[in-house]
Structure 1
Amino acid sequence: MIRTSTVLRNQLVRSTVNCKAACPAIVSSARVSSKTPVSVRFYSTRSTVIQLLNNIGSKREVEQYLKYFTSVSQQQFAVIKVGGAIITQQLPELASCLAFLYHVGLYPIVLHGTGPQINEILENEGVEPDYIDGIRITDERTMAVVRKCFLEQNLKLVTALEKMGVRARPITAGVFQADYLDKDKYQLVGSITGVNKAPVEASIQAGALPILTSLAETSSGQILNVNADVAAGEIARVFEPLKIVYLNEKGGIINGNTGEKVSAINLDEEYEDLLKESWVKYGTKLKIKEIRDLLMHLPRSSSVAIIDVNDLQKELFTDSGAGTLIRRGYKLLVRNSLEEFQQPDLLRAALNRDVEISSGSTSVASYLKALESVKFKAYGDEPLEVLAIVRDDTTGVAKLDKFLASKAGWLNNVTDNIFTAIRKDYSALQWTVKEDDPNTAWFFAKADGSFAKNGHILFWYGAESIEQVSSLIENFSKQVAGKQSGIFKSGSQTRSFSTHRNIQGGVFSRQFKRGLATSAKANPPLRDGSNTSKSRVALIGARGFTGQNLISMIDQHPYLELTHVSSRELKGQKLKGYNKKEIVYENLQIEDIKKMEANNEVDVWIMALPNGVCKPFVDAIENTSGAGTSKIIDLSADYRFDTTGDWVYGLPELNDRQAIANARKISNPGCYATAAQVAIKPLVEYCSGLPSIFGVSGYSGAGTKPSPKNDINVLRDNLIPYSLTDHVHEREISSQLGLPVAFMPHVAQWFQGITETISIPLKKPMTARDIRNIYQDQYQGEQLITVSGEAPFVKDISGKHGVVVGAFAVNAKQDRVVVVATIDNLLKGASTQCLQNINLAMKYDEYAGIPDDLVIRG
């Protein structure tokens, strides 16, 4: 029976921080009473951990891998080999990650080394460690140290696990039988001749993680030293696990030419060429050869991952994985005709994965008949777990006609190998995917650009000119005309163009409309577009700069119409800057609001009022008989700290877009707070202390009411600090991030635009490149966020509708990074964000009404 404890639940905070899945609300819910029945406690905790895992990957990924791992007996889940240096340097992280696995009901077999500790003791005693062919010479004196170190390190790991409430069993003998490898040459070094499974199986059956050393014994009881990598391989041969994981400090195999981490190695396809690489030598070559020898004797579904301890959950539970994944895979085959397919039944089975064929819209035979008359190239692995068919196209850009992958094909990353092979053969490619395809994020990562329409997405890479992309889009639009599918069930979709990279030095976005975007790690954008009917908008408090910008943007919006604009000072005057119809300023009172709501005259209420003023208006709307259909967007800070659940915080790039779309009442974030959250959020789990935010705003942020902060004579050649502690934005940023921050605002002499210089202390050493990659992953595909390697300038953001984050300056110790963020306080800091929230709430395209030519690009 699997057991759990209150102690472990109370340690989950540590587990989530170290394993990159921090979620305080969920952690809090994990603390259940010790009086709760064991079975109830276990399933409650398992559910909690699954939710926590969802923070490092999608729910789909976590569920499919859990099902995959629990499809075999518990001892066949994974063998994890832990380097001795990790126990010394990263014990808390290691224990936390193993606790996660235990807590979700997975029992890895853990085997550890102790090489660095042995060397340290020997050197302290004046003994120089001696090696031949990379094997430690182990005399009796050295063996005494080896045995002592193994016992100490084993106990250290077991104790750390037990402090977290994890049952762990030290197994320091009785597993490995061995003979002398070469007694004269290596002395007390063993070659494993047999593995006794009983101690390991007994530990798992008792609900305890087995923690093994690589000490072996001869038949007469002599202890022999065995290389831990070799011992891990022998354990894997006996148990045949799905995963074999080597934890090391580098976090993978490093390409010696490029300095990049090798993501994946498919031995059947790459082994011979890989060994010819100049950087594959010495220990790297030996490790690759040993892993190949191991995998050749295991089921093809087995794989070896070489990763950093902090990436263990990411490797096990996400498609992207971590470190270096090594598997046998299959040789990839390329066919140029149907006659080259040796097994027609496999081809038919692969084609039956196609949605049009499986739904009966067409048949396999019909498709194959059509394929005979065109020039094509087909790519696949031997069992056709993945099949790709590329055809020539009239646009001059080859078309990926079919890309069909089984679950195993996705899980084993055969898809990546196939796409790499295609990319070698085709410098330019186009393909189409339905918007509700669960692997959309993967396709976005492979593309240079995309265009979405009627429930389908056109992707491409390698298009060389605007004219070529125009042709692709025109042909695609004709093909999907009238089609509907996925989550966007009706209405034409506008603003559907996206470039993922600049082409020929130009920026396509200024010529076309922006596209559907998605992110593998962040909050995938929800672009609806199902509503094409008009909506009536009442703007309460239209005198300020934000109100003026909203009026201008609503004037350009395809579906929004202003019906009422309220301002006490401007009552009776004609509204300027709005051309759809003549509007006269009103001074709406509470009774007017009630009457308008009762008569269903307004679809969207925008509260552009000072802080502390809008509550009576909101109450009037809510308390009116028959109310309930209109939406309320509040631009003040009045409801940003709502704890009732009635209000949704409307920062689409960081919050749940679906929640915003379903909300009736939306609190629009502050300008400083938006930029700061975008700049800090990707590093929250890496942050070790208090981030400090030095913010400077143009004087438009001080509003239209005269004060020293918007007096250009006072501001000239000056910088005015104000509210240096406990500012409302400081509380807003802290509450939304779940992390205390220090915020120091200032006003400068320019009109609009904000710059924030943010110092963030780090838990572990990180390079600027590491950090920039984290931000690029977080905001991949977000249309209004740009990640730059340079520090952005405030003059470049003025009049633009996005946020730019950059600089990523890391100090010499690599324990602190400075990030710079810029935002226009009147646009993305207020009115643009308000329009995003209105679009989501009213089921329009999220970016409708936001000018394309004013969007910041990377």
Structure 2
Amino acid sequence: MLRSSLSANKRRIARTGRSILKSTAATARAQNLYNQTPLVASCSSSAVGSGCTSLCRTYSTRSTVIQLLNNIGSKREVEQYLKYFTSVSSQQFAVIKVGGAIITQHLTELASCLAFLYHVGLYPIVLHGTGPQINELLEAEGVEPSYEDGIRITDEKTMAVVRKCFLEQNLKLVTALEKMGVHARPITAGVFTADYLDQDKYKLVGKINGVNKSPIEASIQAGALPILTSLAETPSGQILNVNADVAAGELARVFEPLKIVYLNEKGGIINGNTGEKVSMINLDEEYDDLMKESWVKYGTKLKIKEIRDLLMHLPRSSSVAIINVNDLQKELFTDSGAGTMIRRGYRLHTRNSLSEFSEPELLRKALQRDPEISSGKVSVATYLRSLEETKFKSYGDEPLDVLAIVKGATDATGNVPVLDKFLASKAGWLNNVSDNIFHAVKKDFSSLQWVVREDDPNANWYFTKSDGSCTKHGHILFWYGVEDPKQVSKLIELFEAKYSRIPKTESSFSNAFSGSQQSRAFSTVRTAKPSKTQHAQKRPMVVALPKRAFGVRTLATETNPNPPLREGTNTQKSRVALIGARGYTGQNLIAMIDKHPYLELTHVSSRELEGTKLEGYTKSEIIYENLQVEDIKRLEERNEVDVWVMALPNGVCKPFVDAIDSADGGKKSKIIDLSADYRFDKTGEWVYGLPELNSREEIANARKISNPGCYATAAQVALKPMVPFIGGTPTIFGVSGYSGAGTKPSPKNDIKFLSNNLVPYSLTDHIHEREISSQLGVEVAFSPHVAQWFQGISHTISIPLKEPMTSRDIRNLYQDRYQGEQLVFVSGEAPLVKDISGKHGVVVGAFAVNAKQNRVVVVATIDNLLKGAATQCLQNINLALKYGEYEGIPDDLIIRG
């Protein structure tokens, strides 16, 4: 499958963008200010009026980078990919192998590309070769290069030239980066250890047997791009020459990056029969057939084999890209990519009946991505029944990260087959599985029609797959392969007849960003495949549409891209089981469920209180149980619980979760864990449930939600708007009431011991310190304390600033970021802990800036039992069960102005 390359015009635009970036980043100050800044932001009128010079300069830099990003791909693509890359640790982003010829002939372009990544907060590990330069120096000294089996024979004289070349080329690249304000660190030794490959045959050539990560990690932690050579050393200190491709592979095995990039002049693997660049290779699907191709031989065959061997030892999310240096951003930040992308992928499967699905649960999970199903308008079972009654063909990869269902042609649809479902997970979009599936559909169906919502975040992608489109009441009809104007008119007529019945209240959102322009009717009918220019003209029309969830319009702003979901679609009762109900958090949650219009408590489990009546719950009589693993499994199998709440100590939750997962016919209920057990989950099964900062849509669609910690919630809310402007390690002085120490007796909840006292504990490496740092992507220092009051937390947070800022500038940032959030209040004064006790949210204030304007102190308060635990849990339950987000939560946070 071949992905389209950039047109000549877009290449010129991209090069212009790089030039703009270079000139904009003329000073290290401006570059450092931009580093790790969110992609979308704006300067409020009040901030401008106050003369926020540093902020406006930041936004100017950011605006330039946004312009560049939008030149290489859509805003959705860029935001999606940047979020994906920054979700892993810095050293797991990418390993980039640079050929020696690139440094000689394309140094400026290479440095610009790497500078771009640096300025959006990404730190690739860069390893370069120096083959052509070595040959030139050897020839100048009258030495004929000698090879055996494609490996350079490296005697002592050759090694002297090799080492000199590596040092010169490394310094050349580092110097070019430093001139662009990029902090880069040359690492020419100390990373690779090796044995002799074959000393008699190849002389000083090494076979890597170990990789020392420390120099690379230290460089990244210091905010510097690591620039490596492929020289290795024996235990005795002898320098050995190692092939740069091999060294890059060894780095990848150790760091397991998302991307492994080989930069070369060809820009990819060329099909020897057609002369075209091979865009995508899915090894699991294509490897055997590919290796039989007549043009796959010699170096090409060896490279594909080596890449397959490498990827077999890495996560499936990892991929190898062979590209030209000018296409680096396009490969990393767009769906179409550039050069040749190689990944393991999965074999694609087609099915014509439900009986052919060997794992029905995978099918159900895939269908739950559909908005109609996830919102509760249609059940999975109802949709599956409809498939039994019609002819269809489905397409999907093995884990069904992408599922496409095409229903057969009928007279009612104008004899054009219907793409009834195209459901892709985040991994499916990011790993280009969506392109593979659509390509497979297109091979089987010469014409096709489909409808998506106008606010679909991937509407841009659908435009690129179509020949024409028509918009009606917030929906878009797409088609390809329909060349008869009468047939097109018939499609549009049926489409308009169907969607004209939708009330205006539902469709009104579609023009929210259109201003005075009229909404687009249907596109000009074309009898041939549209040009890239035609698509480019259409695509911007859907980039800036508002977000929408559960049938309620919620407008995302540039400063707050994750607005609250105030209403829900579900009005059915749901059953809650609370495991670990004895603690303070459990008691508060019980009281809130008692007043919730749709939630009913059916089971409470506590070993100490087994057999006693649950006091304070009025909807029904509940007796405490001591539920064991087998009891929980049985309840799940009987479908007696809609949501499980685990209010257990750290380290205890897993057996209960495993029991729910192992239940026959289970995996229907939701699970909320209040402990820290899954806050650092890397499997993708758990979503971190802090709605004000994390994607509400992801929380709403998650089955397993990890409830954040109390200290961590307040600290993240207090730090998040400042992340782009942080110039050092923030220090958090946290003090909690003794209810935070739980009900089990200890010095931290002993009233006599706490009287007239303040007790520090776990002053370094506290679990909340790790939680805050991992979620924000910024290292923090956190020191917790316990005081003599019962409930409520106060944080005093000192934040070093990159650039001078005023208190008013900073307060404006917070007001913009948390506009519309019912459970976050921004105050001009330092909030007091006595005011937050019993209240359902977080108050942030003070914003005290020192005389040098290089440090700000922010104060945040939170009730550790409510928004720090029970209220946040109820917020997550509401989202997961499609109730209004604030259902059952009082709006009581207006404390001080």
Q: Is the 8 A contact 1:57 1:521 kept in 2?
A: no
Rounded Cα–Cα distance in structure 2 between residues aligned with 1:527 and 1:207:
36
The one-letter amino acid paired with 2:441 is I
Q: Is the 8 A contact 1:27 1:48 kept in 2?
A: no
Which residue number in structure 1 is paired with residue 246 of structure 2?
230
Rounded Cα–Cα distance in structure 1 between residues aligned with 2:299 and 2:240:
23
Cα gap change, 1:422 to 1:193, in 2 (>3 Å): same
2:148 aligned with 1:132, yes or no?
yes
1:51 equivalent among 60, 63, 66: 66
Could you tell me how far 1:199 is from its partner in structure 2? 1.3
The one-letter amino acid paired with 1:73 is S
1:481 equivalent among 500, 524, 542: 500
Q: Map 1:306-317; keep pairs closer than 5 Å.
A: 306-317=322-333
Rounded Cα–Cα distance in structure 1 between residues aligned with 2:181 and 2:309:
37
Which residue number in structure 2 is paired with residue 280 of structure 1?
296
2:136 aligned with 1:120, yes or no?
yes
Which segments of 5 or more consecutive residues in structure 2 lack a partner in the other structure? 1-11, 38-53, 547-897
Which residue number in structure 2 is paired with residue 291 of structure 1?
307
Rounded Cα–Cα distance in structure 1 between residues aligned with 2:22 and 2:271:
41
Query: What SS does the aligned partner of 1:193 have?
Result: strand
The one-letter amino acid paired with 2:528 is N
Which residue number in structure 1 is paired with residue 811 of structure 2?
none
After alignment, is 437-446 or 489-498 more displaced? 489-498
1:444 equivalent among 432, 453, 463: 463
2:423 aligned with 1:409, yes or no?
no
Task: State, as a whole percentage, how many aligned pairs show the same letter.
Answer: 70
1:324 equivalent among 328, 340, 343: 340
Which residue number in structure 2 is paired with residue 27 of structure 1?
24
Q: Is the 8 A contact 1:454 1:481 kept in 2?
A: yes
Could you tell me how far 1:146 is from its partner in structure 2? 0.9
Q: Alignment length, in residue pairs?
A: 505
After alignment, is 308-317 or 38-47 more displaced? 38-47
Q: Map 1:329-348; keep pairs closer than 5 Å.
A: 329-348=345-364
Q: Is the 8 A contact 1:16 1:22 kept in 2?
A: no
1:218 equivalent among 222, 234, 246: 234
Which segments of 5 or more consecutive residues in structure 1 lack a partner in the other structure? 1-14, 510-514, 529-858
Q: Map 1:279-678; keep pairs closer than 5 Å.
A: 279-394=295-410, 395-483=414-502, 485=507, 487-488=510-511, 495-502=521-528, 519=537
Could you tell me how far 1:449 is from its partner in structure 2? 2.5
Rounded Cα–Cα distance in structure 2 between residues aligned with 1:496 and 1:138:
66
Q: Is the 8 A contact 2:27 2:181 kept in 1?
A: no
Q: Is the 8 A contact 2:396 2:402 kept in 1?
A: yes
Q: Is the 8 A contact 1:454 1:482 kept in 2?
A: no
Rounded Cα–Cα distance in structure 1 between residues aligned with 2:245 and 2:65:
31
Could you tell me how far 1:235 is from its partner in structure 2? 0.4
Could you tell me how far 1:468 is from its partner in structure 2? 3.2
Could you tell me how far 1:197 is from its partner in structure 2? 1.0
Cα gap change, 1:518 to 1:33, in 2 (>3 Å): closer
Rounded Cα–Cα distance in structure 2 between residues aligned with 1:228 and 1:154:
13
Cα gap change, 1:287 to 1:259, in 2 (>3 Å): same
Query: What SS does the aligned partner of 1:258 have?
Result: coil
Rounded Cα–Cα distance in structure 2 between residues aligned with 1:440 and 1:122:
56
Could you tell me how far 1:293 is from its partner in structure 2? 0.8
Could you tell me how far 1:397 is from its partner in structure 2? 2.1
Rounded Cα–Cα distance in structure 2 between residues aligned with 1:193 and 1:132:
22
Q: What is the CA deviation profile of residues 733-774 of structure 1, one whole-angstrom value per residue up to 9, with x for unaligned ones?
A: xxxxxxxxxxxxxxxxxxxxxxxxxxxxxxxxxxxxxxxxxx
After alignment, is 74-83 or 126-135 more displaced? 126-135
Could you tell me how far 1:247 is from its partner in structure 2? 0.9
The one-letter amino acid paired with 1:473 is I
Cα gap change, 1:97 to 1:367, in 2 (>3 Å): same
Which residue number in structure 1 is paired with residue 558 of structure 2?
none
The one-letter amino acid paired with 1:496 is F
Cα gap change, 1:179 to 1:500, in 2 (>3 Å): farther
Rounded Cα–Cα distance in structure 2 between residues aligned with 1:37 and 1:241:
24
Which residue number in structure 1 is paired with residue 564 of structure 2?
none
Could you tell me how far 1:245 is from its partner in structure 2? 0.9
Could you tell me how far 1:516 is from its partner in structure 2? 11
Q: What is the aligned-residue RMSD (CA, Å)? A: 3.5
Cα gap change, 1:62 to 1:520, in 2 (>3 Å): farther
Query: What SS does the aligned partner of 2:489 have?
Result: helix
After alignment, is 45-54 or 308-317 more displaced? 45-54
2:180 equivalent among 164, 172, 175: 164
Could you tell me how far 1:298 is from its partner in structure 2? 0.6
Q: What is the CA deviation profile of residues 296-333 of structure 1, one whole-angstrom value per residue up to 9, with x for unaligned ones?
A: 10111111111111221222222222221111111111
Q: Is the 8 A contact 2:25 2:180 kept in 1?
A: no
The one-letter amino acid paired with 2:121 is G
Cα gap change, 1:522 to 1:358, in 2 (>3 Å): closer
Query: What SS does the aligned partner of 1:79 have?
Result: strand
Q: Is the 8 A contact 1:75 1:239 kept in 2?
A: yes
Query: What SS does the aligned partner of 2:524 have?
Result: strand
Q: What is the CA deviation profile of residues 703-722 of structure 1, one whole-angstrom value per residue up to 9, with x for unaligned ones?
A: xxxxxxxxxxxxxxxxxxxx
Q: Is the 8 A contact 2:33 2:58 kept in 1?
A: no
Q: What is the CA deviation profile of residues 533-563 of structure 1, one whole-angstrom value per residue up to 9, with x for unaligned ones?
A: xxxxxxxxxxxxxxxxxxxxxxxxxxxxxxx
Q: Is the 8 A contact 1:498 1:516 kept in 2?
A: no
2:276 aligned with 1:260, yes or no?
yes
The one-letter amino acid paired with 2:17 is K
Could you tell me how far 1:21 is from its partner in structure 2? 4.8
Q: Is the 8 A contact 1:77 1:242 kept in 2?
A: yes
Rounded Cα–Cα distance in structure 2 between residues aligned with 1:527 and 1:298:
37
Which residue number in structure 2 is paired with residue 777 of structure 1?
none
Cα gap change, 1:105 to 1:296, in 2 (>3 Å): same
TM-score where L is the length of structure 1: 0.55
Q: Is the 8 A contact 2:18 2:113 kept in 1?
A: no
The one-letter amino acid paired with 1:178 is A
Q: What is the CA deviation profile of residues 198-245 of structure 1, one whole-angstrom value per residue up to 9, with x for unaligned ones?
A: 111121122221111101111222211111000000001001111111
Rounded Cα–Cα distance in structure 2 between residues aligned with 1:57 and 1:497:
22
Which residue number in structure 2 is paired with residue 792 of structure 1?
none
Query: What SS does the aligned partner of 2:17 have?
Result: coil
After alignment, is 219-228 or 478-487 more displaced? 478-487
Rounded Cα–Cα distance in structure 2 between residues aligned with 1:153 and 1:29:
23
TM-score where L is the length of structure 2: 0.52
Rounded Cα–Cα distance in structure 1 between residues aligned with 2:244 and 2:374:
49
Q: What is the CA deviation profile of residues 633-689 of structure 1, one whole-angstrom value per residue up to 9, with x for unaligned ones?
A: xxxxxxxxxxxxxxxxxxxxxxxxxxxxxxxxxxxxxxxxxxxxxxxxxxxxxxxxx
Cα gap change, 1:125 to 1:387, in 2 (>3 Å): same
Rounded Cα–Cα distance in structure 2 between residues aligned with 1:37 and 1:430:
44
Which residue number in structure 1 is paired with residue 800 of structure 2?
none
The one-letter amino acid paired with 2:92 is Q
Rounded Cα–Cα distance in structure 2 between residues aligned with 1:138 and 1:163:
34
Q: Is the 8 A contact 1:248 1:309 kept in 2?
A: yes
Could you tell me how far 1:109 is from its partner in structure 2? 0.7
Could you tell me how far 1:94 is from its partner in structure 2? 1.1
The one-letter amino acid paired with 1:431 is W
Cα gap change, 1:516 to 1:311, in 2 (>3 Å): closer
Rounded Cα–Cα distance in structure 2 between residues aligned with 1:304 and 1:178:
24
Rounded Cα–Cα distance in structure 2 between residues aligned with 1:352 and 1:120:
60
Q: Is the 8 A contact 1:175 1:197 kept in 2?
A: yes
Structure with the larger RCO, 1 or 2 (CA within 8 Å, 6+ apart): 2
Rounded Cα–Cα distance in structure 1 between residues aligned with 2:101 and 2:266:
11
Q: What is the CA deviation profile of residues 16-64 of structure 1, one whole-angstrom value per residue up to 9, with x for unaligned ones?
A: 9757356589939999689999999899488457534433333322222
Rounded Cα–Cα distance in structure 2 between residues aligned with 1:525 and 1:210:
36
Cα gap change, 1:525 to 1:80, in 2 (>3 Å): closer
